[in-house]
Structure 1
């Protein structure tokens, strides 16, 4: 009977395993993976540089990473800015407010603005028009209340799991702090979501972030920068903020370089093709309340 093929000796198998482990460790040493959020975001920027992903994908992936550490209180509409309906207001007054604000959902209060008793869908007002005898209370949907500390990841999951895409945010003392919608959460990922009531912009993007800073694309027109930040930058010589900054610095700035412009500080987030793609814009410390 022919001898069966000899199996590898334990020592040889051990050497092969050690060799694979060594090569793997060497590869990790030469090309270590990101071990922090900031490093991961830098890796995404490098992936865009290498045309692995496009700019839109990078911005969305950055948003997914950032919302993991954000809460409802970070992106809510503060209580004084909420558009709310008074349950005792006449129908014409309610309709006028709905048309002017163009929201699809409204918190409804009774007595004081703090006393939110439900949510009214704008489309449900049509039912009152067809049947005035209806009581508006019968049209209200239950209001969802969440604490300011509610994580955006968890909140987005809840929004996706039910048909109520608006929540009232409560502070630590149980008072109404603001409201948040599924659109507010999604805009932290994909940027501002424009609808038929938004003013269209020809080019450039300015995104307000939860930490009171802005993400501004390098091709945003100077005119729009002046309007958005109340500046008086010259509009004759340069069309975009990226071109103006590169000219004043004497070179195309690299990622991480900073530029002071009146009371704003611009930090370069990403460059590509000899131009700045994104700035992070913030007020100078002395100008922050």
Structure 2
């Protein structure tokens, strides 16, 4: 397969979407969600018209309505390397295992490589049609696919949010100039830019920075205090000099790697402790699974 997908493919054509794809007469997402349209003179600190916004140089932005106009898809999307997806010929047991391991409810489906996406599969559709133990009906993944949006990296996230609402879809793939997949984002990623982090039933409660699992490992928030966790496991994870640099588990993992690691990556510590990244986005680590060496676990 060529490294440059056919620009005439559905994915490439999706990258040509622009602001004109959103009907002007349809009430916008802001009008329905907040009960009012955001005006150009709102107190969110918008720059004068024509001012170019570079969110990469400004750093992470605080949540707010103005992000819908000032931020682009490329500022929010999960990088290609962190996308969890499945091939079109995946059988039912393997598909269910991917859902279990990732904790996701929607997965992109591709034909050959991720640069040839053909749709997305929803956990609910599989469960209702086949169950998790299979049935007598032959399983063909392509028969359970839903459409997925294809968007360019330069699209304002407010435009994408309105389009997701109109098309009733919760996932979009970011397509580069050659029609290849460059990233992924969900409607939750967009809404979080307005109202902040959204916690769900799978997240650890705020008052509980970590929990111990049956196998002796710890499931912890990245913001868990490092000194308190060291006391819990009885292992020193930083020396005196490093204590001044980091004060959380996520900060320690960042110190060990020198970057924000990807979801699923395992980061070893010189003490024998292993940190598995359970949840992360391009800007920060969210949750970790900490596995102790045998002697410490005992």
Question: TM-score when scaled to structure 2?
Answer: 0.49
Looking at structure 1, the residues matched to 138 and 81 of structure 2 have their Cα atoms a distance apart, in angstroms, of 32
Looking at structure 1, the residues matched to 107 and 169 of structure 2 have their Cα atoms a distance apart, in angstroms, of 12
Could you give the per-residue CA deviations for residues 75-131 of structure 1, whole angstroms, max 9, x where no partner exists?
A: 001111001011112211110011111212110011112211111111122213345
Q: Go from structure 1 to structure 2 and tell me whether the alpha carbon gap of 1:84 and 1:148 turns closer, same or farther (over 3 Å shift).
A: same
Larger of the two Rg values belongs to structure: 1
Partner of 1:37: 46
Looking at structure 1, the residues matched to 199 and 142 of structure 2 have their Cα atoms a distance apart, in angstroms, of 31
Partner of 1:67: 68
Q: Go from structure 1 to structure 2 and tell me whether the alpha carbon gap of 1:66 and 1:144 turns closer, same or farther (over 3 Å shift).
A: closer
- 1:233 positional shift: 3.8
Does residue 138 of structure 2 align to residue 154 of structure 1? no
Could you give the per-residue CA deviations for residues 150-208 of structure 1, whole angstroms, max 9, x where no partner exists?
A: 1111111112222211011112232100111100001111211111222333289xxxx
Q: Secondary structure at the match of 1:192?
A: coil
- 1:38 positional shift: 7.4
Q: Go from structure 1 to structure 2 and tell me whether the alpha carbon gap of 1:36 and 1:99 turns closer, same or farther (over 3 Å shift).
A: closer
Partner of 2:184: 179
Partner of 1:139: 144
Looking at structure 2, the residues matched to 198 and 154 of structure 1 have their Cα atoms a distance apart, in angstroms, of 29
Q: Secondary structure at the match of 1:109?
A: strand
Q: Go from structure 1 to structure 2 and tell me whether the alpha carbon gap of 1:224 and 1:72 turns closer, same or farther (over 3 Å shift).
A: farther
Looking at structure 2, the residues matched to 93 and 196 of structure 1 have their Cα atoms a distance apart, in angstroms, of 25
In the alignment, structure 1 segments of 5+ residues that lack a partner are 1-32, 40-59, 205-219, 240-262, 264-281, 283-289
Does residue 206 of structure 2 align to residue 201 of structure 1? yes
Looking at structure 1, the residues matched to 151 and 96 of structure 2 have their Cα atoms a distance apart, in angstroms, of 28
More helix by share: 1
Looking at structure 2, the residues matched to 136 and 34 of structure 1 have their Cα atoms a distance apart, in angstroms, of 48
Contact kept, 8 Å, 1:226 with 1:232, in 2: the verdict is no
Partner of 1:118: 119
Q: Secondary structure at the match of 1:63?
A: coil
Q: Which has the higher contact order (CA 8 A, sep 6+)?
A: 2
Q: Go from structure 1 to structure 2 and tell me whether the alpha carbon gap of 1:62 and 1:164 turns closer, same or farther (over 3 Å shift).
A: closer
Which structure 2 residues correspond to residues 1-289 of structure 1 after superposition, within 5 A?
36-37=45-46, 62-126=63-127, 127-128=129-130, 129-202=134-207, 222-223=225-226, 232-233=242-243
Question: TM-score when scaled to structure 1?
Answer: 0.50
Looking at structure 2, the residues matched to 226 and 188 of structure 1 have their Cα atoms a distance apart, in angstroms, of 31
